[in-house]
Amino acid sequence: MLSSVLIANRGEIACRVIRTARRLGIRTVAVYSEADRTALFVREADEAHEIGPAPARDSYLSVDRILDVARRTGVEAIHPGYGFLSERAEFAEACEQAGILFVGPPASAIRAMGLKDAAKALAIGAGVPVVPGYHGSRQDPDFLRQKAYEIGYPVLIKAVAGGGGTGMRRVDKQAEFEAALEGAQREAQASFGDPRVLVEKYVLSPRHVEVQVFADSHGNAVHLFERDCSLQRRHQKVMEEAPAPGLSPEMREAMGQAAVEAARSVGYVGAGTVEFIADARQGLRPDRFYFMEMNTRLQVEHPVTEAITGLDLVEWQFRVASGEPLPLRQEQLRINGHAVEARVYAEDPARGFLPSTGKLWALRFPDNEDGIRVDAGVVSGDEVTPFYDPMIAKIIAHGATRDEALDRLSAALRGTVVAGPRSNTAFLRALCDMPEFRSGRFDTGTIDRNLEALTARSAGDDDRAAALAALRMVARSGPAKGLSDPWDLHDAFQLMGARAVALPVLVDGERRDVRVTWPGPGEIAAESGEVREMLSGTRSERRERGFVDRPDGGVYVLEGGRQILVQPFDPFTADLDHLDGGDVVQAPMHGKLVAVFVAPGDVVIRGQRLAVVEAMKMEHALLAPRDGTVAEVAAEPGQQVSEGGRLITLAPEEG
């Protein structure tokens, strides 16, 4: 067994690899970018070394810097995780030349499977069925259009160097071919530096079924059954499960063998995944599946395979890399129950799944629940930065049956709290409970066909959040500040008549006036739109789990996996009480600096507006913490600023 490993990756997968390494007594060395200085995986590794600035090309994609740390720390092996350098043949080669074990296949196998056209040719050679199409070298539009016509529409244009669902276009009719080709080539050139494409038949009612394979350096190769990854958005996986619903034992056998053949054909060693597309129009049939590509690395969704086989695939990777034979033979492998994985992302389903960054004010998963595993890359208080894949965690549920696994996942998602960046938790839960998915009759188009229902917000959610948050704000300020009684309210509140006040709040950035009343002793009521919420001592405690407070007075109201940020809106009164009187003005959150009103040398007074930061569709005024003179302005309007970043400094006070 190995004695030490460097993990050339970050986030969730770095934590995942460290966990197994630690269990096996392998020393772990992490490498990290400036943006990841305080990241969880850096804290968890035995030692960690900074390798460069945030952009991946200067850090996680820098072969030289990573190998430099590997040499300095004397590690025996490098685990590349997934993404980044994991499928770069040159990296595997460079490791070999440096005398360091690459925990992955030989460079030759990575290269052979690296381009989709060459991989298809190899598959055909190995007797593995492929999607009918053209994967030759000619790239002129007229020729490819002719090929598309011969294949028959709809067709799919794919970047041969593609990955991550990028560089792909479905074309339904001849007239649209040329524009789609141009788009695919442009995207392929931009993303992979290689404009070449292939054209293949677009499989109708497509199911993505992939097979986990493992081979050792002694000529043994097995498959660890399949995963169904048909729940996709923009050709990217959202939820994955094992085994594939509706797959017969004969088809499993046929696919498993085809996958092992494909791996053998390139002299594969280590963990790999052979991806197939199946035509599910008449259910899954052994004569209707086709090779798509081989991913020569550990896959994001490997935990569902671990759940149904009871194995640790990272442990297998380490064993194979150190020259041991595969721990088990094919006939010793069994499927136990069913497993599902959901990828929890910091993204906003309501805004086209735009990545959402910032501080995680709260991150909680259900703990110690039966059959639930959570692989996370961050914890509460950490930051989701804009530099990398915004995955927060993977939640994996295992059960005796598919329904049990899905029920457990649904419950786990219900108990998950993400406050700060927006997340897809509610979307995942809706997906988990969707009849079309539950029935097992779904395909890669299921999410798109149901997108509206899956991302719908129920009417009244915002009003309910506004009312609940208003109650919390009023109650929290308590008798001390007088807010529990309307006659003592401070200036921002306008009296609306006897014992009723309008409390202005921002609900996800939009203004709303909540009507607050005190109907009886110890009771507060808040009304927004049609919604009326009441608070009395006992109720407030019961609701405690549904809120996350921010130090700036904002409240996240959490409902069904979604967060609604409600902030006190106080346009007239600056919050002078909370100015700290220090020298430095920091950005309160990730956002864009939209205006700076001062320059070095300007004399300012306490509470004066110095700059404005825009975040979450809201402007936040930055105020002078004390009287003084501006010494430095560290950012310019238009610039992105990160939370806590120093923007303006005042000259030190004299005396």
Residue 131 contact, options ligand ADP, Mg ion, none, Cβ 5-8 Å cut-off depending on partner type: ligand ADP
* Count of C-beta atoms within a 10 Å radius of residue 18: 23
Question: Is 162 or 625 the residue whose CB approaches ligand ADP more closely?
Answer: 162
8-state DSSP, 578: G
Taking CB within 5 to 8 Å according to partner kind, which of ligand ADP, Mg ion, none is near residue 207?
none
First to last CA, the chain: 64
What six digits make up the tokens of 36? 């990841």
What's the half-sphere exposure (Cβ side, CA atoms, 13 Å) at 539? 12
Element (H or E) spanning 79, and its range? Answer: strand 77-79
Beta strands 197-201 and 133-134 are antiparallel
Cβ contacts of 223 within 8 Å, gap of 6 or more: 211, 212, 213, 214, 256, 257, 259, 260, 330
248, interface contact from ligand ADP, Mg ion, none, CB < 5-8 Å by kind: none
| C-beta of 190 vs 379, nearer to ligand ADP | 190
CA 303 vs CA 299, 339, 372: distances in Å: 9, 9, 11
What does the angle CA 281 – CA 286 – CA 290 come to, to the nearest 5 degrees? Answer: 75
As a whole number of angstroms, the distance between CA 580 and CA 593 comes to 21
From Mg ion, ligand ADP, none, interface partner of 394 (C-beta below 5 to 8 A by class): none
Residue 134 interacts with, from ligand ADP, Mg ion, none (CB under 5-8 Å by kind): none
- C-alpha–C-alpha distance, residues 354 and 357, integer Å: 10
| Minimum distance from residue 293 beta carbon to Mg ion (Å) | 5
Closest CB 353 distance from ligand ADP, rounded Å: 14
Nearer to ligand ADP, 18 or 507 (CB): 18
Residue 273 vs 484, nearer CB to ligand ADP:
273
297 is catalytic: yes
C-beta atoms surrounding 147 within 10 Å:
19
- Cβ(423)–Cβ(238) below 8 Å: no
- How crowded is residue 328: how many other Cβ atoms within 10 Å of its Cβ? 16
Radius of gyration of the chain (CA): 28
613 binds, among Mg ion, ligand ADP, none (CB under 5 to 8 A by kind): none
Least CB distance to ligand ADP at residue 113 (A):
11
In the complex, least distance from residue 22 CB atom to ligand ADP, rounded to whole angstroms: 23
| Least distance in angstroms from the C-beta of 370 to ligand ADP | 27
Task: Please report how close the Cβ of residue 440 comes to ligand ADP at its closest, in angstroms.
Answer: 17
Q: Which does 82 bind (CB under 5 to 8 A by kind): Mg ion, ligand ADP, none?
A: ligand ADP
What is the smallest separation between the CB atom of 78 and ligand ADP, expressed in angstroms? Answer: 17
Whose Cβ is closer to ligand ADP: residue 245's or residue 588's?
A: 245
Our CA angle for 421, 427, 431, nearest 5°, is 155
Contact residues for ligand ADP (CB under 6 A)? 82-83, 131, 156, 158, 162-166, 191, 200-203, 206, 208, 232, 235-237, 275, 277, 292-293, 295, 299-300, 389, 444
Q: How far is CA 177 from the centre of its chain?
A: 32
CB nearer ligand ADP, residue 223 or residue 237: 237
Torsion over CA: 76, 26, 225, 427 (sign): negative
CA pair distance 655, 653, nearest whole angstrom:
6
Complex with ligand ADP: residue 28 or 299, whichever CB lies closer: 299
Site string for Mg ion, 237-276 (x = CB under 5 A): --------------------------------------x-
Least distance to Mg ion, CB of residue 80, Å: 17
- 512, containing H or E segment: strand 510-517
Among all residues, whose Cβ is closest to Mg ion?
A: 275
Residue 223 or 464: the one with the smaller Cβ distance to Mg ion is 223
Q: 169, 297, 512, 562: which one is catalytic? A: 297
Residue closer to ligand ADP, measured from CB, 31 or 56: 56
Of residues 531-590, which lie at the interface with Mg ion (CB under 5 A)?
none
Q: Which does 56 bind (CB under 5 to 8 A by kind): ligand ADP, Mg ion, none?
A: none
Residue 52 binding result from ligand ADP, Mg ion, none, given CB thresholds of 5 to 8 Å by partner type: none
- Among ligand ADP, Mg ion, none, residue 343 binds (CB under 5-8 Å by kind): none
Residue 521: exposed, middle, or buried by beta-carbon count in 10 A (0-12, 13-18, 19+)?
exposed
The smaller minimum CB distance to ligand ADP, of residues 208 and 408, is found at: 208
Dihedrals phi, psi of 636, to nearest 5 degrees = -115, 150
**DSSP for 30-56, written as a single string:** EEEEGGGTT-HHHHHSSEEEEEE-SSG
Minimum Å gap between C-beta 364 and ligand ADP is 24
Residue numbers 70-109 binding Mg ion by CB under 5 A:
none
Q: Which residues lie across from 237 on neighbouring strands? A: 232
User: Alpha carbon of 424 to those of 25, 316, 390, 435: distances in Å?
Assistant: 36, 32, 11, 19
Residue whose C-alpha is closest to residue 256's, from 305, 199, 217, 197: 305
Q: Shortest approach of ligand ADP to residue 433 CB, angstroms?
A: 22
Residues with a catalytic annotation lie at 297
Query: Binding residues for Mg ion, per CB under 5 A?
Result: 275
